[in-house]
Structure 1
Amino acid sequence: MADPARHVLQTIFGYEDFRPLQGEVIDRLMAGGDALVILPTGGGKSLCYQIPSIARDGVGVVVSPLIALMGDQVAALRQAGVRAAYLNSTLDPAEAQGVEAELVAGELDLLYIAPERLNSPRTLALLERAPLALFAIDEAHCVSQWGHDFRPDYIQLAVLKERFPGVPTVALTATADEPTRREIADRLGLREAQWFIGGFDRPNIRYRIDQADGRPRERLLRFIQSEHPGEAGIVYCLSRKRVDEVAAWLAERGVTALPYHAGLSGEEREMNQRRFVNEEGVVVVATIAFGMGIDKPDVRFVAHLNLPKSIEAYYQETGRAGRDGLPADAWMLYGLQDVITLRQMVDSSEAEEARKRVERQKLEAMLGLCELTTCRRQALLGYFGDELAEPCGNCDTCLQPPETWDATVAAQKALSCVHRTGQRFGVGYLTDVLLGKTNERMERLGHHRVSTFGIGTELNATQWRGVYRQLIARGLLAVDAEGHGGLRLTEASRPVLRGETALHLRRETKPAKPAGDKRQTVSFTDPTDQALWEALRDCRRAVAEERGVAPFMVFHDATLQEMVRVRPTSVGHFAELSGVGERKLDEFAADFLAVLREHAG
């Protein structure tokens, strides 16, 4: 490893050594080669391009998809003493001209820019006049037309290799299976790039998935209050309306909850995002429009109140929790209506049939992850071609193994009921037929006389909904694409109906209690340690407010925890803490050492 890069790591960022693959990627870029980097969120992708941008001559140009976050990324770098800037539409003409002058003069280490702006002829001409260290294309999965986050402007980034063939280029993402990796390399002209594929495992995240039947908002509130009181989190919902309702409902019950979706004004979105980044203990309730590129390290949980469309989307969204490596939760409730809604969205879209087929396969894989009874982490990692030899012991199916039952006869009844009623009714109506609940509509249609009427009284309505949900998830039933939720048999149902295949399903149970230990991340058994922790947090908050930055830009929680554990007494001792670079040592050591001295007893 070249000494300049390690020097930057230690003196600017305050870390003693590189994480897995960081050193190899940086070595490749320092030597002028191209790279494709797949590392999990929190795996240290940013340092892979930030360090060589600083250590090499010239400026590192970072393509980032979200304008709203560039200011935060630049502010964090400046806190560490890095010459960083951004070019986007939030700057007035004079400010933009100032940044452009710094760029051409070689007075920047890093420049963040959106793909739309970079692709403009004026910007490309400007870059031709600037000394360039490298190009970094962040969130590179956005180039994939088959992916969950496709952005057309990313495809045009192939112009960088055409116009600047001698400048090393690195494409980075946390979410890319083998076909997507090939697509990224091909579309961005990185055919000579060396691939660096890190493991996808995030062992600090506990994965938990449960059925949504029964008061999901109350269960979410109970989860937050019992396991993450006063901690930052993200709650994802499928619709804007539900985002607004859930955010308002949580706020009425004492949670600092803010909505975020495309239907809000730009000012409100920016204000809510700013509060989430800069304050502690804020929960954002959002559609999937929120989260990409957010560097907030202390998000302690990500909750889903609806089913994501794919495992890629689920992994990307849950990966926003626990970027600091401390314990975090990925908590999800999903139900029958989610399955029906997403199936209809795919089938009724105007996309080409080939794309619909890919989206159906991705949804099937997501449903499979939800319904399995073995280790979720093994299945999640396996989807990306990563292996975990043993069950993880840190997901709900490991901690509380689900019960299964021989549901062959029940499935035959459920499928037969679909057939006997004409394959055009939804789950609620079919359940009433099985339970023998007659009404005017049923009598008018004559379904109180079909052979399946009243044959399902051994199960209750909730249990029948669970059976139907799992039959849909396994592809034995299809949902109509017209929006009415009617079910029809698929070819896969025939072996079950004929008795040729046994079927074991999850047993529908009451909502699971919180698994294992209380999950609040930072708590100390010694009251003096707890008091010091709170005092250090107060100090960090005051320092951050004075400088107008987010608390984590001063020090991460992990660094504060190390202060409690090590209790440094001198500047030299303080410098040995992880995450303390030279600039932060000069600016912050005196304030925090004063707090440590006050609690020395």
Structure 2
Amino acid sequence: MQATANQSGKSGKHIQRLLRTVFGVTRLRAGQQDVIDSVLAGRDTLAIMPTGSGKSLCYQLPAALLPGATLVVSPLISLMKDQLEKLHELGITAVQLNSSLSRTEEDEAIARISQGGRLIIFCTPERLASPDFLSLLASAPPSLVVIDEAHCISQWGHDFRPAYLEIAAALRALGRPPVLALTATATGEVIDDIDTQLEARKLQVINTGIYRANLRYRVIQVTNAGEKQDEVLRLLRETAGVGIVYAATVKAVEDLAARLAELGESVTCYHGKLAARERKHNQDLFMNGERRIMVATNAFGMGIDKPDTRFVIHLQVPANLEAYYQESGRAGRDGLPADCTLLYFQEDKRVQQFFLAKHYPTAEEVAAIVAAAQTLPATFAFAALASSLPEFSDGHLKVCLKLLKDGKLLRQDRKLGYRLTAPSSATPSYAQLAQIYVDKQERDKQALEQMVAYAQSGLCRWKLLLDYFGDAGDFERCCTCDNCLSPPALAAPISLDEFPPAPAEAPPPAPAPQIAVGSRVRVPRYQIGTVLSVAGDQVTIAFPENTTRTFMAEFVVPA
């Protein structure tokens, strides 16, 4: 099934000609070249590339060279539509299969897929799990399968989506063609989980880094909800161009959008509780430039490609730094400067804590699923199991089945049927399987604490993000974020008159006392505060009235 560039008879000159004449690109970037070479060599590849770095070209160019179809699994119908239109403008044959199509449109797409040959097929992960769709592809299996937004396949990813768990079984049903997984962010844990869930063969990981020099990050501390609203209005009036304001709840989105509209701002909104037609209409208003401001929950985001977005404002802290990077990264895709602002109010942490209180599988639920499966035929379909367990949602049931598959208590065949396997001495208990998600909840809590620490830190914002993703290297500072431009320790300079001069023959200073997070400390000219974080020689302290400042450790003493 693997095809190399040489086997396809495609020379470097032919690739360069395709780049110029079809894609309008004079040369590939280093990361793109590496990914395309890996794909054309038939390797399973994970490409971690920042937003706006040209991930789409990494499959579009191979699709023009490989003999068969390229199947692109995408999480959002709106993203498929956008990609499809761009490919048609380039003269590249592409079709989509999803729930937005009319019966006639779906029949036409199926007919084109049935013809086989070179084309790009877009589908959702739910469609890929359909036996009918797999049967359609079976006569001419794809030469390449692309998994877009691949972090969704990982239980440690910030946007875990159970439908992605069916992808490995679908790949086996298609004869296991080479896979290209694409994402803008992935921690080491997420990379390992993507590797496992895809059942990859020596996964080639190509990580070009997350740094985007044109994004200017800042955090504005606010002390109450009213001050936050005032700051949003000020930012929107002082910032030119179009942008997105993210809020954590539907109510916050609707309230802010209504207030902005009353004040005469050019605004629309987007959230999951709007009807599909209204969501599409509002998205089109923003994407077409008919509205300057989009107020939205994180339902508006993945795959949104509006290159001239000049700002992204977060009304509340997101759940973790992955989500924050992805959402803020929708700014400045054209490479021009853009502002990414987080309004931090300590009480907003509670909103994310509420969202983190999810219901994950319990040992009792896993046992109930096994008991139900034992009453079914030896090989059973998901629908049959779901009908015997009406108290389980499809998503929750798929997560439980994933646990059983990971524990080697269940396997899935090429036709997507399930079969229980006999336990062995090494088989984990149901309690051990359920503990995986107890651990996930704890990780989610830690991730929220890291997000809060970012908001309260006095260090370079980009340095903090790069450290989190293990991508810092020798990076020191961006020189464009709020903390670089106005270091908090220097924001309120301390008069040297407050410190008596040292005598000429002063003994060496005593070592500074150890400062622990959570301890009470004092700083000259300030009241007693509580230590929030310690990073090297910088200490971030919370003072009364919700004021947060960062100081050099030498000025901080225990209270």
Q: TM-score scaled by structure 1?
A: 0.67
Where do residues 482-521 of structure 1 align in structure 2 (5 Å cutoff)? 504-505=540-541
Paired residue for 1:403?
489
Q: 2:270 & 2:196 partners in 1: Cα distance?
A: 34
Q: SS in structure 1 opposite 2:316?
A: coil
Distance 1:239 1:37, change over 3 A: same
Q: 1:393 aligns with which of 479, 485, 505?
A: 479
> Structure 1 residues 4 and 55 mapped into 2: Cα distance closer, same or farther (>3 Å)?
farther
Deviation at 1:504, TM superposition (A): 5.0
Q: Cα 1:301–1:108, aligned 2, differ >3 Å: closer, same or farther? A: farther
Q: Structure 1 stretch 268-277 or stretch 179-188: which is displaced more? A: 268-277
CA offset digits 1:214-249 (Å, max 9, x no partner): 522222222122222xx2211111111110011111
State the distance in 1 between where 2:32 and 2:539 align: 47
Distance 2:89 2:262 in 1: 36
Residues 57 and 131, structure 1, Cα contact 8 Å, conserved in 2 = no
Q: Distance in 2 between matches of 1:245 and 1:174?
A: 31
The alpha carbon displacement at 1:182 in A equals 0.8
Matched, 1:358 2:443: yes
Higher strand share goes to which structure?
2
TM-superposed CA distance for 1:349, in Å, is: 4.3
- In structure 2, how many angstroms separate the alpha carbons of the residues matched to 1:317 and 1:199? 17
Using the size of structure 2 for normalisation, the TM-score is 0.72
Q: Give 1:143's aligned residue.
A: 153
Does the 8 Å CA contact 1:4/1:55 hold for their aligned counterparts? no
Q: Report if the CA contact (8 A) 1:232-1:280 is conserved.
A: no
Alpha-carbon deviation of 1:281? 5.0
Q: Secondary structure at the match of 2:60?
A: helix
Aligned partner of 2:114 in structure 1 is 104
Q: CA deviation digits over 1:335-379, x for unaligned, max 9?
A: 111124434554x54445312210121012111111111211011
Pairing partner for 2:218 from 205, 208, 211: 208
Tell me: CA distance 1:3–1:102, structure 2 relative to 1, closer, same or farther (3 Å): farther
Percent pairwise identity? 41
Match of 1:223 among 235, 242, 250: 235
Distance 1:511 1:54, change over 3 A: farther
Distance 2:146 2:310 in 1: 28
Matched, 1:155 2:165: yes
Query: In proportion to residue count, which structure has more helix?
Result: 1
Amino acid at match of 1:403: A
Quick one: which amino acid aligns to residue 239 of structure 1? T
Q: Could you say which structure has the greater relative contact order, defined with CA pairs below 8 angstroms and 6 or more residues apart? A: 1
Tell me how large the CA RMSD over aligned residues is. 3.1
Distance change (3 Å), C-alpha of 1:280 and 1:509? farther
CA offsets, 1:257-298, max 9 Å, x none?
111111211111111112222225532111111111112222
The CA distance in 2 between the partners of 1:381 and 1:200, in whole Å, is 7
| Residues 53, 505 of structure 1: alpha-carbon distance in 2 compared, 3 angstrom cutoff | same
Q: Which residue of 2 aligns with 1:325?
A: 335
Q: Which residue of 2 aligns with 1:183?
A: 193
Aligned runs of 1:79-94 on 2, under 5 Å? 79-94=89-104
CA distance in 2, matches of 1:295, 1:188: 27
Q: Report the counterpart of residue 38 of structure 1 in structure 2.
A: 48
Equivalent residue for 1:301, pick from 288, 303, 311: 311
Corresponding position of 1:443 = none
Instruction: Kindly provide the amino acid, as one letter, of the partner of residue 505 in structure 1.
Output: I
What is the aligned partner in structure 2 of residue 377 from structure 1?
Answer: 462
Deviation at 1:105, TM superposition (A): 1.3
Rate the CA distance shift 1:374–1:506 in 2: closer, same or farther, 3 A: farther
> 1:110-154 deviations in whole A, cap 9, x for unaligned?
111101011100001111123523110000000111222000010
* Structure 2 counterparts to residues 229-378 of structure 1, below 5 A: 231-279=241-289, 282-343=292-353, 345-346=355-356, 348-351=357-360, 352-378=437-463
In the other structure, the counterpart of 1:64 is 74
Q: What CA distance in whole angstroms lies between the structure 2 residues aligned with 1:168 and 1:103?
A: 19
Q: What is the distance in 2 between the residues matched to 1:174 and 1:110?
A: 22
Q: Which runs of 5+ in 2 are unaligned?
A: 1-10, 361-436, 495-511, 549-559
2: CA distance between counterparts of 1:502 and 1:149?
A: 33
Structure 1 regions of 5+ residues with no counterpart? Answer: 417-457, 476-500, 513-601
Aligned partners of 1:80 and 1:224: how far apart in 2? 36
Which residue number corresponds to residue 54 of structure 1? Answer: 64
Name the CA shift for 1:68/1:105 in 2 (closer, same or farther; >3 Å). Answer: same
Whether 1:8 and 2:39 are equivalent positions in the alignment is no
Rounded to whole Å, the distance in 2 between the matches of 1:7 and 1:160 is 35
Change beyond 3 A, Cα 1:256–1:326: same
